């Protein structure tokens, strides 16, 4: 049995819900490795899936299908990124009011264990400075505390393509030093605690403290409360840690997404080479394709 990640590489609920459900109904999905291009077949039969973890900033398009997923025997949770950035940072992310309506719907249908909040990625500019983040995070905690009791946060990792996109679009951004990182993490922890929300740092262990724990985005302890059988809990317990980057604590999963297929257009995104390529790929996608990655269907990038 596998844990399915849907997906670190793209927002499947927001942009590929129909494609995803067709793969669910077919019982399998093709995946192209982003590291070398090897193709894999991943079973999506209910008996082969421990749970599905959806990574998203907009689960609304998937809401039409969540009852069907339950009826088919799937367990699932959401890693829901909610940053409340201005539109020049996240151009096509829904506004906070819509996001809260989706959280209300999910919580009403499935209960609190289905959603975990991510405040990610934290970027700093002349206007989005430490004070802005503290005020923004306080406002989000006040609005989200009825639906979540944990927040996973992460500062920007400056991969080559991330740095290139940030330099082009946000010339006043800056990378904090370790002191500023720790000060901001401490600020966020104090705010979170005041609302009964625990704070966890994703892949930045130097930020850990009495108030900041180590995050596991693919977390068997959390998922054990969401799955519906002893067999699935035993399968979770057998999963080994399989880090996707330095200081990652996630357990092993099968990611079924593809890079350059998310059209949110976030300026800090590590999963897109650039927004224009992602938009082109998205327009060219066929929901009947066995693969989400365009290279899987055509052997080339659009």
Where are the chain's structural domains? 2-160+173-256
**Which two three-digit tokens encode residue 207?**
């930020």
Q: How confident is the model at residue 298 (pLDDT cuts 50, 70, 90)?
A: very low
Q: Mean pLDDT in the chain?
A: 93
Q: How confident is the model at residue 297 (pLDDT cuts 50, 70, 90)?
A: low
**Average pLDDT of span 281-300:** 80
Q: How confident is the model at residue 113 (pLDDT cuts 50, 70, 90)?
A: confident
Specify the pTM: 0.95
How far apart, in Å, are the Cα atoms of 203 and each of 131, 210, 241, 244, 253?
23, 17, 13, 10, 17
Pairing of strands 28-32, 39-43: antiparallel
Q: Which pLDDT does position 293 carry in this prediction?
A: 87
Long-range CB contact pairs, 237-241, < 8 A, 24+: 239/3, 239/50
**Average pLDDT of span 136-160:** 93
Q: Which pLDDT does position 133 carry in this prediction?
A: 98
Model confidence over 158-210: pLDDT tens digits? 777 777 878 888 889 888 899 999 999 999 999 999 999 999 999 999 999 99
- Measure the CA–CA gap between 165 and 274, rounded to whole angstroms: 7
124 vs 36, more confident: 124
Q: Which of 107-121, 122-136, 270-284 has the highest mean pLDDT?
A: 122-136
Model confidence over 51-92: pLDDT tens digits? 999 999 999 999 999 999 999 999 999 999 999 999 999 999
Give the DSSP H/E element, type plus range, for residue 80.
Answer: strand 76-81
Distance of CA 263 to the CA centre of its chain: 14
Domain 2-160+173-256: which topology?
A: pyruvate-formate lyase- activating enzyme (3.80.30)
Pairing of strands 150-155, 198-201: parallel
Q: Which pLDDT does position 295 carry in this prediction?
A: 73
């Amino acid at each position: 049995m596998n844990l399915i990640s849907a997906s670190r590489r793209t927002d499947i609920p927001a942009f590929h819900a129909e494609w995803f459900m067709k793969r669910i109904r077919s019982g399998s999905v093709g995946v192209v490795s982003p590291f070398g291009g090897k193709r894999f077949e991943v079973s999506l039969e209910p008996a082969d899936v421990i749970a599905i973890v959806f990574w998203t900033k907009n689960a609304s398009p998937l809401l039409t299908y969540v009852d069907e997923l339950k009826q088919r025997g799937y367990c699932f949770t959401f890693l829901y990124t909610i940053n409340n950035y201005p539109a020049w940072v996240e151009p096509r992310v829904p506004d906070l009011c819509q996001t809260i309506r989706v959280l209300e719907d999910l919580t009403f249908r499935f209960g609190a264990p289905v959603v975990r909040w991510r405040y990610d990625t934290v970027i700093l500019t002349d206007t989005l400075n430490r004070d802005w983040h503290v005020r923004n995070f306080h406002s989000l905690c006040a609005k989200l505390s009825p639906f979540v009791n944990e927040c996973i946060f992460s500062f920007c990792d400056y991969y080559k393509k991330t740095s290139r996109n940030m330099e082009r679009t946000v010339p006043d951004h800056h990378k904090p030093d370790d002191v500023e990182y720790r000060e901001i993490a401490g600020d966020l922890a104090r705010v979170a605690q005041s609302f009964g929300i625990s704070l966890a740092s994703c892949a930045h262990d130097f930020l850990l403290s009495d108030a900041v724990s180590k995050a596991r985005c693919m977390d068997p302890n959390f998922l054990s409360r969401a799955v519906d059988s002893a067999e699935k809990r035993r399968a979770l317990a057998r999963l080994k840690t399989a880090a996707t980057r330095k200081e990652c604590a996630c357990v092993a999963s099968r990611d079924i997404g593809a890079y350059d297929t998310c059209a949110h257009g976030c300026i800090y995104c590590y999963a897109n080479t650039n927004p224009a390529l992602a938009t082109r790929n998205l327009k060219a996608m066929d929901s009947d394709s066995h693969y989400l990655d365009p290279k899987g269907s055509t052997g080339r990038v659009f």
